[in-house]
């Protein structure tokens, strides 16, 4: 199979779709295929495949997907395979499925822009963006698809989730429901390309070259099985353009020219545009999404501020990127959830959500209701319904402090003399983010999709990784809501990265599956580039050996650390090659750093009174008074 056929499946569905809805689905409908070049308001024509069931009574609603990954693979057979989760509804009344290549990709005309910001001049009738392209297509579909019921839904995962979210900003009146799933919201703060200003090197390089080497998707030939070595040998990021890309990949040039949160990133960040809930929205995120977890949660929260008619909903399950779209979702890597979470979502949440809004005759879909937030609490392995996310009641923020002797404690340190734990971080020997060999992100056999569930013992006790842990829990400890870390940190250099990981340590013995004894499972994590601690737009150096407080958002979680487990925190300064190496010597732009700027530095994490490094956990239950 051609790579262009495989990649969309890898990116969006991961595992083969095998789940059947709980309700036995009659044989899938057969579909007739129509190909159209649909004209947009500026004259560009977008290649669109329309798959209409041949054996359903109409009129039917339209389910619309816009993607940069190529729609050629969407044949009559693949609608049944990829959209099998909709079988119940297809059998009942059906959908016309519409798949479109976005501007500049595959068979569509126009120019591809990695994350095209919303048009600046809305008065200009010819100005275009992803919202107008969706609008113009819907307008055309309503007029040209026979027997449609005038109602359109949009959905998709990641890039296709983002095109869904963009269509919802300024929607066609016929767009009646949208489910943006794992959509990025801010490529500098927390999604694919950076986290808190730290550049996601391997993802950024491999994705940009994959998308911008031609109209289709093509992986860069890295000529290395273990890309850890390949990226290390670059020495400086300048090498990328000098030796390999020669300025031909626009997104790489943007990375290099816009290291800070400047107008370039601000213009495309979604938060600034999310000031109205326009259509019923089902936002979907996975707790262990290796690409876009920040996005869907942020989009939900921003819209929720304006949700006067209760149309905005959130589902978070125990999934990796798009993990809900295929298979059962009963496990992720070696972590077990005890039930088919993905099948439950498709069958009992997503299908009825669209049926309710797109098939008006099915308004009574089995007494179905959707809570404001439906989240899976891993550890205890139960779905929980919340009236708000994060929960407002029954949660107490509790500080868990880094203490002496590698301990965590609920009590703050009392020592007034400066006390700290220290390590030497050497950019010449960065800590791998996943176990080597680090195959290309989307390469064959890559462990990318489950790296967030990897056993952190592979770096535990490295001299450049600190860890602290609580004694064995005597009760279940449940958290639900937002997590924040404050590090009082000093470096002997003038810049530094801090990676913080909250870990569930399984019991040392007695686990049924042997490798799970003592397993260190990462519950939450992130990286922070300290040069941005004061202002994401203006990096400033650190003063050598002077501690400063650095606040790191560990996002949000619902999780039970079971009785008999231990809570651990690890801190390190490299996560390679996911995150580029910080030279640890302040330079205005790390893309311009010289090999000689990269220097080993001593990092100190303070744990004394007044400089008490800690994590604040949203505790539901489990701390004895």
Q: Which residues bind ligand PG9 (CB under 6 A)?
A: 11, 158-159, 162, 184, 192, 207, 291-292
Tokens of 3: 């790579």
List beta partners, residue 285.
316
Cβ neighbors of 71 (< 8 A, separation 6 or more) are 47, 48, 49, 65, 99, 100, 101, 106
For ligand PG9, the closer of residues 117 and 390 by Cβ is 117
Task: List, in sequence order, the alpha helices (H) in 351-452.
Answer: 351-358
The least CB distance from residue 135 to ligand PG9, in Å, is: 20
- Can the peptide bond before residue 49 be classed as cis, meaning omega within 30 degrees of 0? no
For ligand PG9, the closer of residues 199 and 386 by Cβ is 199
For ligand PG9, the closer of residues 130 and 292 by Cβ is 292
The least CB distance from residue 163 to ligand PG9, in Å, is: 9
The least CB distance from residue 184 to ligand PG9, in Å, is: 5
List beta partners, residue 97.
51, 63
Question: Do residues 85 and 350 make contact, with C-beta atoms less than 8 angstroms apart?
Answer: yes
The least CB distance from residue 103 to ligand PG9, in Å, is: 14
The least CB distance from residue 181 to ligand PG9, in Å, is: 10
For ligand PG9, the closer of residues 259 and 430 by Cβ is 259
For ligand PG9, the closer of residues 115 and 520 by Cβ is 115
- 72-75, Cβ contacts within 8 angstroms, sequence gap of 24 or more: 72/4, 72/5, 72/106, 72/107, 73/5, 73/8, 73/9, 74/49, 74/99, 75/33
| CA angle in degrees (0–180, nearest 5) for 422-425-430 | 140
Task: Name the residue number minimizing CB distance to ligand PG9.
Answer: 158
For ligand PG9, the closer of residues 158 and 574 by Cβ is 158
For ligand PG9, the closer of residues 182 and 568 by Cβ is 182
The least CB distance from residue 207 to ligand PG9, in Å, is: 5
The conformation of residue 101, written as its DSSP 8-state character, comes to E
The least CB distance from residue 484 to ligand PG9, in Å, is: 25
For ligand PG9, the closer of residues 295 and 427 by Cβ is 295
34/307 Cα distance (integer angstroms): 38
470/174 Cα distance (integer angstroms): 54
Q: Taking the alpha carbons of 278, 282, 287, 288 in that order, is the dihedral positive or negative? A: negative
Burial 605-615 (b: 16+ CB within 10 A, else e): bbbbeebbbbb
Burial 576-594 (b: 16+ CB within 10 A, else e): bbbbbbbbbbbbeebbebe
List beta partners, residue 384.
375
For ligand PG9, the closer of residues 116 and 581 by Cβ is 116
The least CB distance from residue 265 to ligand PG9, in Å, is: 13
For ligand PG9, the closer of residues 82 and 92 by Cβ is 82
Q: Which residue, among 286, 190, 202, 270, has the nearest Cα to 554 in the 3D structure?
A: 190
The least CB distance from residue 70 to ligand PG9, in Å, is: 12
The least CB distance from residue 158 to ligand PG9, in Å, is: 3
């Amino acid at each position: 199979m051609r790579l262009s056929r495989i990649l969309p499946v890898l990116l969006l569905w991961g595992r083969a779709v095998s789940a059947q809805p709980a309700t036995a689905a009659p044989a899938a409908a057969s579909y007739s295929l129509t190909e159209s070049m649909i004209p947009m308001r500026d004259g560009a024509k977008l290649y669109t495949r329309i798959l209409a069931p041949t054996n359903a009574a109409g009129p039917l609603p339209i389910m619309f997907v816009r993607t940069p990954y190529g729609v050629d693979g969407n044949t009559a057979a693949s609608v049944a395979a990829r959209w099998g989760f909709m079988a119940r509804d297809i059998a009942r009344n059906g959908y016309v499925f519409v798949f479109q290549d976005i501007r500049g990709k595959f068979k569509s005309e126009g120019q591809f822009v990695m994350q095209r910001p919303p048009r600046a001049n809305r008065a200009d009738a010819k100005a275009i963006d992803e919202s107008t392209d969706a609008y113009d297509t819907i307008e055309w579909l309503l007029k040209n698809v026979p027997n449609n019921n005038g109602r359109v839904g949009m959905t998709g995962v990641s890039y296709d989730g983002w095109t869904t979210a963009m269509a919802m900003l300024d929607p066609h009146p016929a767009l009646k429901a949208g489910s943006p799933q794992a959509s990025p919201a801010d490529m500098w703060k927390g999604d694919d390309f950076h986290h808190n200003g730290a550049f996601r090197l391997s993802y950024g390089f491999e994705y940009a070259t994959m998308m911008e080497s031609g109209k289709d998707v093509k992986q860069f030939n890295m000529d290395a099985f273990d890309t850890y070595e390949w990226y290390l040998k670059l020495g400086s990021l300048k090498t990328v353009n000098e030796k390999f890309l020669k300025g031909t990949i626009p997104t790489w040039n943007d990375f290099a020219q816009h290291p800070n949160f400047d107008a370039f990133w601000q213009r495309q960040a979604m938060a600034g545009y999310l000031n109205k809930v326009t259509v019923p929205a089902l936002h979907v995120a996975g707790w262990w999404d290796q690409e876009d977890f920040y996005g869907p949660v942020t989009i939900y929260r921003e819209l929720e501020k304006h949700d006067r008619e209760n149309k905005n909903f959130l589902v978070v399950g125990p999934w990796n990127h798009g993990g809900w779209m295929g298979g059962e979702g009963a496990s992720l890597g070696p972590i077990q959830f005890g039930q088919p979470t993905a099948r439950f979502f498709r069958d009992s949440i997503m299908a009825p959500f669209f049926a309710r809004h797109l098939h008006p005759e099915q308004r009574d879909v089995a007494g179905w209701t959707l809570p404001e937030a439906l989240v899976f609490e891993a550890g205890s392995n139960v779905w929980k319904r919340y009236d708000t996310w994060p929960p407002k009641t029954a949660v107490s923020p509790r500080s868990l402090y880094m203490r002496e002797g590698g301990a965590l404690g609920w009590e703050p340190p009392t020592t007034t003399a400066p006390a700290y734990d220290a390590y030497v971080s050497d950019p010449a020997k960065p800590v791998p983010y996943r176990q080597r060999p680090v195959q290309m992100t989307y390469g064959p056999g890559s462990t990318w999709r489950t790296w967030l569930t990897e056993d952190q013992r592979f770096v535990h006790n490295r001299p450049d990784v600190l860890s602290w842990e609580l004694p064995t829990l005597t009760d279940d400890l449940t958290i639900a809501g937002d997590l924040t870390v404050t590090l009082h940190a000093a470096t002997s250099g003038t810049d530094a990265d801090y990676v913080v990981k909250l870990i569930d340590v399984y019991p040392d013995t007695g686990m049924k599956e042997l490798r799970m004894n003592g397993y260190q499972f990462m519950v939450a994590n992130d990286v922070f580039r300290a040069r941005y601690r004061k202002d994401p737009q203006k990096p400033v150096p650190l003063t050598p050996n002077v501690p400063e407080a650095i606040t790191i958002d560990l996002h949000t979680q619902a999780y039970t650390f079971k009785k008999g487990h231990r809570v651990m925190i690890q801190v390190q300064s490299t996560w390679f090659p996911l995150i580029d190496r910080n030279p640890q010597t302040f330079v205005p732009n790390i893309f311009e750093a010289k090999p000689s700027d990269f220097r080993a530095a001593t990092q100190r994490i303070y744990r004394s009174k007044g400089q008490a490094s800690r994590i604040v956990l949203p505790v539901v239950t489990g701390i004895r008074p």
